[in-house]
Structure 1
């Protein structure tokens, strides 16, 4: 369990390695050798054998094996040949038809960028184990297996698979980076740092050094390879795509150290050829440091599936209706990560879309049983929607007692999410018809956050307290709303979402009996900031070229 949660001010993004299925990494810059474009791991012998067998014996059984191997090795021609065999197999007997459907299901389940829920991970575990029967010493298979086991919350099994992958390929870049992400997610960043420190590959590999810098930042320890990082960036010996995460990692350190000019220089290097991870870091840094980086919009056009970066862009522009689905897509790419689930549910909290929150937390809290912030977002949704109070009186009483006990335990334990838990307790007490006690709980949340100078937590607690005070028609509702407005203005880097919610609260204060309409995701667009139309000559102008073509110049368009 991390000491910090995304409900607090401590949301400095780290450029930790992405952890994708190996088939998605194949062909990316991350998978390429530093000085050549050969694949990190060759399947030529297996590919040749299967291709020859498929050509001689176009049987669905061979085609099924070919599809799995082609997907794993990123061989498009073999994949197409195997699919062609399966398409011609429609008149096969029923028992073979089942085999064909299974193979096609393999293909469909294995393609695409998004997770299809726990059922998909269960399916992938079975598929990977079948592949292991043919390739028992393939480290990438074990790393993919660890990923899906981690998604399912099977952390001990995932660690075993990770250790096997490391034993088979201790210096393999993708294995090391994926292992780093696994251990950091499990709160064992120290293990990740030791893996990178003892690998001889790290000191000359920009991808591994970037991972070490990010992990050290997570652990609040000094990085071991900062000197090597600066040397590699100064020499520019590698293609920009190879340096994008390293440049972003160094830039992050400089930004947080107050070296804004140096940070901007390194983020500009990262922008030369970013991947989606670097683009998200760049967008975060641009907002955090007000760097005014040029070229971010070009980065979005170049990078596919930049869902986290797109979420950050939409959120900072207060386009919450756009931000929410991007956040959920980001979560579906990284369902093993609590961070993505927390941010997705937080945005849905602002939209009052409790069904969407519960859709994510239903699985996420099982995958991350010790993450207080996720549990608290789940409680917030169930209390706000009223589902906590549904059922027979005995069941409802049990739910209330259990919820109150868990929230009080968090508060007494002084966890990192005390302000969140205390605010939820206040919400519960308000909804139970005890507004005076609810007010005390919210006040405690604010006091706790104030002692720790967590402005974001203060603003959240006051904003949500204001909502409940208005709904309960208390005499302190106007003062609470006024305090919330002041608190939100004090967090300029992260205030976009809360500023939107304040707009809803102002409408609610004017018409509290219309709460069901105002606090409804369907009406969210009514309270989003209205952007004025662009005016020719003020916001943009037209530049005419010598050949008669016109270019539209929009100098104030925000990236």
Structure 2
């Protein structure tokens, strides 16, 4: 309630109450969202606290170019070293040299005889370049593919990510039966098969495989376990197991998200992004959580901008960037970035997100009726697919814009109407708290 009162006082310029409310927010320290803490401290004439993990610009050409030169020099005397070619591919990828990155990776595959580690790296590279067929092809050509758990798990994961079903599911099941679960080297294969069973509606079988495969798991397997947990409605791995694993930033990011620990979710998203700078997922998750749950638009901007440097074609990431720009008051830049988005209707959900963001920009231009119509159209699409989280997120942003436009009663009624539709009984709960509860509800266990 205090967060809502302070936010409304800022939006409506109620200077007579602002200082007192700011002082109360400051007293609560980390119990309040970081962005509100920073704003309250500025209102109180204090310096905002900053103690956050920083993004590392691994794609800085002044750093990468000497590294590339060193790799080339070493390759001139060791041209058959596949791991040097693999490193060169990674370096080129960091600075956006797609063709050079692919050529170096193909050389790595050739001289190494498609070694397992290099084949997996090549698969990730081609997935990043939106070429799932090549990603699957390099795995199939790798040494001992049909019996190798690491390669089979990668093939299943790539197939699932591209909306297909791997034709090697039977071989993967035989491999897991032969190897057994509960071992590090079979953990990723077990999680991939558990995901496959879940997709086939075999919840009980999926839970058994996932739990057994989480006993001794790799970082990738832990991340998949955390993703599976809310969908299987059970804890696949313990929090202690995740916390005890060095790295595992992806797992820690999702684990914190499903626990409602937004600060930890963002910090681990940044660490994950530093480790995998060309992956769009940590940038998407970090920028979304920072803006939506923490109202930290500066942090969201930094993460989204970093991610766009390596994934300029991602409309979803650019959408997060536009929202953060608009919410931080830079409307001109927000509109300039928005026109770069396609707004394609091919994916109804993505189009609904585009309409909602368009509506946000209209509100910021004081075109309230137009903005309202766009939000309403987006809401209908989210209702069609029964996406409760999206409906709550949309209402969070729209209610703030209605309050900002002076329509406080309309803002309250909008929230109450949604609560009634979703069967949420306590209408006194703030919309951001309701959104948090929805995330936690998805995390509920048996």
Q: TM-score, with normalisation over the residues of structure 2? A: 0.77
Q: Displacement of 1:472 after TM fit? A: 1.6
The corresponding residue for 2:241 is: 299
The corresponding residue for 1:464 is: 397
Q: Displacement of 1:238 after TM fit? A: 8.7
Q: 1:307 to 1:205 in 2, by over 3 A?
A: same
- Greater mean alpha carbon deviation, residues 451-460 or residues 327-336: 451-460
Rg bigger for which structure?
1
Q: 1:450 to 1:222 in 2, by over 3 A?
A: same
Q: Does 1:420 align with 2:361?
A: no
Q: Displacement of 1:415 after TM fit? A: 7.5
Q: Does 1:502 align with 2:435?
A: no
Q: Does 1:438 align with 2:379?
A: no
Per-residue CA distance 1:163-204 (angstroms, 9 max, x = gap) = 111121243000110111111122111111222234452111
Any idea what SS the aligned residue of 2:343 has?
helix
User: What is the alpha-carbon distance in structure 2 between the residues aligned to residue 143 and residue 208 of structure 1?
Assistant: 17
User: What is the alpha-carbon distance in structure 2 between the residues aligned to residue 296 and residue 330 of structure 1?
Assistant: 20
The corresponding residue for 2:280 is: 338
| Structure with the largest fraction of helix | 2
CA contact (8 A) 2:93 2:101 kept: yes
Q: Displacement of 1:132 after TM fit? A: 2.3
The corresponding residue for 1:312 is: 254
Q: 1:365 to 1:256 in 2, by over 3 A?
A: same
Q: Does 1:117 align with 2:58?
A: yes
User: What is the alpha-carbon distance in structure 2 between the residues aligned to residue 146 and residue 288 of structure 1?
Assistant: 36
User: What is the alpha-carbon distance in structure 2 between the residues aligned to residue 115 and residue 487 of structure 1?
Assistant: 44
CA contact (8 A) 1:177 1:208 kept: yes
CA contact (8 A) 2:194 2:205 kept: yes
Q: Displacement of 1:436 after TM fit? A: 1.2
CA contact (8 A) 1:139 1:166 kept: yes
User: What is the alpha-carbon distance in structure 2 between the residues aligned to residue 415 and residue 405 of structure 1?
Assistant: 19
Alignment of 1:343-382 (within 5 A): 343-350=285-292, 351-382=294-325
CA contact (8 A) 2:194 2:209 kept: yes
Give ranges in structure 2 of 5+ residues lacking alignment.
1-54
CA contact (8 A) 1:153 1:368 kept: no
Per-residue CA distance 1:454-502 (angstroms, 9 max, x = gap) = 4443332222212211222225312222244467779xxxxxxxx9862
Per-residue CA distance 1:288-331 (angstroms, 9 max, x = gap) = 211244x5234225421111111122111111122111111111
The corresponding residue for 1:480 is: 414
RMSD across aligned positions (CA): 3.0
CA contact (8 A) 2:325 2:334 kept: no
Q: 1:440 to 1:224 in 2, by over 3 A?
A: same
CA contact (8 A) 1:147 1:336 kept: no
CA contact (8 A) 1:151 1:336 kept: yes
CA contact (8 A) 2:182 2:214 kept: no
The corresponding residue for 2:96 is: 153
CA contact (8 A) 2:182 2:215 kept: no
CA contact (8 A) 1:171 1:201 kept: no
Alignment of 1:28-43 (within 5 A): none
CA contact (8 A) 1:244 1:274 kept: yes
User: What is the alpha-carbon distance in structure 1 between the residues aligned to residue 420 and residue 73 of structure 2?
Assistant: 59
Give ranges in structure 1 of 5+ residues lacking alignment.
1-113, 390-398, 491-498, 506-526, 532-556
User: What is the alpha-carbon distance in structure 1 between the residues aligned to residue 66 and residue 271 of structure 2?
Assistant: 20
CA contact (8 A) 2:226 2:251 kept: yes
Q: Displacement of 1:131 after TM fit? A: 2.9
The corresponding residue for 2:8 is: none
CA contact (8 A) 1:197 1:224 kept: no
The corresponding residue for 1:138 is: 81
The corresponding residue for 2:134 is: 191
Alignment of 1:439-454 (within 5 A): 439-454=372-387
Per-residue CA distance 1:85-109 (angstroms, 9 max, x = gap) = xxxxxxxxxxxxxxxxxxxxxxxxx
Per-residue CA distance 1:27-56 (angstroms, 9 max, x = gap) = xxxxxxxxxxxxxxxxxxxxxxxxxxxxxx
User: What is the alpha-carbon distance in structure 2 between the residues aligned to residue 161 and residue 338 of structure 1?
Assistant: 22
Q: Displacement of 1:411 after TM fit? A: 5.0
Q: Does 1:385 align with 2:328?
A: yes
The corresponding residue for 2:36 is: none
CA contact (8 A) 1:274 1:303 kept: no
User: What is the alpha-carbon distance in structure 1 between the residues aligned to residue 248 and residue 326 of structure 2?
Assistant: 33
Q: Displacement of 1:386 after TM fit? A: 1.0
User: What is the alpha-carbon distance in structure 2 between the residues aligned to residue 238 and residue 319 of structure 1?
Assistant: 31
CA contact (8 A) 2:352 2:382 kept: yes
CA contact (8 A) 1:142 1:164 kept: yes
Q: Displacement of 1:246 after TM fit? A: 0.4
The corresponding residue for 2:50 is: none
